[in-house]
Structure 1
Amino acid sequence: MEFKEQIIKYKGRIVFIRLSMPYFDRTLKQYAEDEACFMFVNHGEVGIRSQEEYFKVNRRKAMLAKCLNYFFEPPADNDSGDTAVESVGVFLYPSLVKDLFEFDVTTSDYSVDYNLKQIEVDRLLDNYRESIDILLDHPELADESIVSTKLKEFVLLVSKSQNAPSQLDFLAALFKPNEVAFKTIIQNNLYANLSLEELATLCHLSLSSFKRKFKEVFGESPKKYIVRKKVEKAAALLKRESLRISDVAYDVGFDSLATFNRNFASIYEKSPSEYRLD
């Protein structure tokens, strides 16, 4: 599978996209406009890391996302050796919603308690996915009337699947990100081997603002706090003799055994193997 991108636009904006990739690393989906999106996976599996949670999407599970930063990741437990992924995205924008439905989403105060959500792909959504694949394969069919009809169908299907009171309420909630406490974001992603820059991005902060905020909330620098918490968790895991030291290192978010050993010794003044023998 070679890298390939196919798109369909409506009123000058991308509304459908299919990405085919032979492999991928952790990739930021950065909030650039007031867009929300839905992602199907035709082939393979993708990890989704947000401010609050981590889940996987595949042929049977899709993702609904509000307007925020999040990461796509290769699943850590992929033992098949098949790293190829093909995904199909559907994008919505308030301005297009107003054009399609004559809805003003600011008139609804309906909200839902998630920013990203894993969605079961039922038969209706699976059939919808196939219809979008046909349009992406044959873009000459995707005139404005067809595309507008498919976008309206998508909103109807997903709003019903989420038991929203109405399509207007569903869309209003979709463009209304939930506030997540800074401390919660850090605690939920502490062992994910994210760089400080990546953590700052999840918090929608610049690196300098992130470091300042972190010191205010936790009372020490992010690097020092995060390393200490990883090592403390590793120390608890080392008492389980069934776990290899290398597995412990990666489970708590270190990217190499050497880095883990060095940081562990700096805190406990002994190597992980010596600590395990005590």
Structure 2
Amino acid sequence: MDYVLMPDKIADQENTKPKLSFVPYVSDAPLVKGKSRLTQHMISLIMQGEKHIYSDGKPIQINPANILLLSAGNYIFTERPNGNPGIRSILVFFDDEFLQDAVRNNIKFPKNASKKTPNILVPKDDYLNNFISTVQSLIYDPIFTESMQVAKLNELLVYLCLRFPEELNNFQNVSIAKTPEERIQNVAQQNIFNNFSVSELAFFCHMSVSTFKRKFQKIYNEKPAKWMQEQRLITAAALLKNGSKPSEIYLKAGYENHSSFSKAFKSHFGKLPKNYSYMNF
């Protein structure tokens, strides 16, 4: 699955990427999955539908009740329009200078390096609903020039800094800040029970598949797919030990059906899950 550079793709015709942009986004497909590499920060102002965005494998659910501030980085997303007319949103892209100016001018305490986060999900309130309505009314109007967009983005960032100072203070692209080894370990632990492919795990780590496999094996002494399966089966065995039924846990263990789970379990432990007992643990 190829990834899309955003907002670079939008700027292709102009051959220049603006420092900020307000982009209306519409999708009517019943379910869409894709990869995006954000080269700027993004605020998602969703009005209709639902998105699941995965950062290092951790799911972030965004819907019309909230807005999302997302750092530059690699993401996998799924969209669920929840009926017609599908996804309706406005995406705001901007470089780090805008954010740092807002934080520097409106948050008066020092940055805490121990709480960095690459995303902020906040509930909509009257101000945010009114802000979105105003942008909707302007976005196709010639009056919505670059200078007005700068003013509106600054207004929004100042509001978020004043309303959510700790969250904005701790916001940054933590994936890039980590070492390659830390990123691999974080992604591996977060995704034991998710059905992401090796190429998708490498994408979360900002690596090629070959580099990801080589570094992963150096850390865990196993190939990624084998290590992930072993961790799922060890967890499944612990659940069986505590009295769970195989039919209750195969989904929790990351398997799509009971048959594939039973086959993998027997291959690893020598017994079917239904015959597994504490003595075999």
Q: Does 1:17 align with 2:20?
A: no
User: 31, 56, 62: which is aligned to 1:51?
Assistant: 56
> Aligned partners of 1:82 and 1:263: how far apart in 2?
41
Q: Distance in 2 between matches of 1:20 and 1:238?
A: 45
**Cα gap change, 1:17/1:260 in structure 2, threshold over 3 Å: closer, same or farther?**
farther
Show the counterpart of 1:132: 135
The change in CA–CA distance for 1:183 and 1:149 in structure 2 (over 3 A counts) is: same
Matches within 5 A, 1:200-211: 200-211=202-213
Secondary structure in 1 aligned to 2:201? helix
Q: Given residue 37 of structure 2, which amino acid in structure 1 is its aligned partner? A: Q
Q: 1:26 aligns to what?
A: 33
Which range is displaced more, 173-182 or 22-31? 173-182
Letter in 2 for 1:59: P
Unaligned runs of 5+ in 1: 1-6, 104-108
Change beyond 3 A, Cα 1:200–1:275:
same
Task: Tell me how far apart the structure 2 counterparts of residues 215 and 8 of structure 1 sit (CA, whole Å).
Answer: 38
- Answer whether contact 2:44 2:67 (CA < 8 A) is retained: yes
Q: Could you say what secondary structure the match of 1:20 adopts?
A: strand
How many pairs align?
Answer: 253
Provide the residue aligned with 1:271 in structure 2. 272
Per-residue CA deviation, residues 68-117 of structure 1 (Å, 9 max, x unaligned), is 11222358xx9x7889433321111247x49x99x9xxxxx946611122
Name the amino acid aligned to 1:130. Answer: S
Q: Does 1:42 align with 2:54?
A: no
Instruction: Tell me the C-alpha RMSD between the 2 structures.
Output: 3.8
Q: 2:65 maps to which residue?
A: 60
Q: Using the alignment, how far apart are the partners of 1:226 and 1:83 within structure 2?
A: 39
| Aligned positions of 1:252-263 closer than 5 A | 252-263=253-264
Mark the CA change 1:152 to 1:188 in structure 2 (over 3 Å): closer, same or farther.
same
- Given the alignment, which residue of 209, 225, 230 partners 1:223? 225
Once residues 23 and 121 of structure 2 are traced to their aligned partners in structure 1, the CA distance between those partners, rounded to angstroms, is: 19
1:154 match: 156
Q: Which amino acid aligns with 2:145?
A: D
1:53, distance to aligned residue in structure 2 (A) = 3.2
Q: Percent identity?
A: 23
Local SS of the residue matching 2:120: strand
For 1:121 and 1:155, locate their aligned partners in 2 and report how far apart those are by CA, in whole Å: 14
Rounded Cα–Cα distance in structure 2 between residues aligned with 1:259 and 1:82: 36
- Aligned residue for 1:150, secondary structure, equals helix
Residues of 2 paired with 1:231 and 1:86: CA distance?
41
Unaligned runs of 5+ in 2: 1-8, 105-109
- The answer on whether the counterparts of 1:41 and 1:58 sit within 8 Å (CA) in structure 2 is yes
Offset, 1:276:
7.6
CA distance in 2, matches of 1:114, 1:173: 5
Work out whether 1:179 is the aligned partner of 2:183: no
Specify the SS of the correspondent of 2:267.
helix
Tell me the SS of whatever aligns to 1:28. Answer: strand
Offset of residue 192 of structure 1: 1.2
Q: Does 1:73 align with 2:78?
A: yes
Summarize the alignment of residues 98-113 of structure 1 with structure 2, pairs less than 5 Å apart.
Answer: 110=111, 113=116
Counterpart AA for 2:43: F
1:4 alignment partner in structure 2: none
Deviation readout 1:137-165 (Å, 9 max, x if unpaired): x3434223322221221222222233169
Cα distance change on mapping 1:159 and 1:215 into 2, 3 Å: same
2:6 aligned residue? none
TM-score w.r.t. structure 2 length? 0.74
- Distance in 2 (CA, whole Å) between partners of 1:57 and 1:275 is 41
**Deviation at 1:217?**
1.2
SS of 1:140's equivalent in the other structure is coil
Cα offset, 1:65, TM superposition: 1.2
CA contact (8 A) 2:246 2:273 kept: no
Counterparts of 1:8 and 1:133 in 2: how far apart (Å)? Answer: 19
Deviation for aligned residue 1:267: 0.8
Which amino acid is 2:267 matched to? S
Tell me what 1:106 maps to. Answer: none
3-state SS of the aligned residue for 1:69?
strand
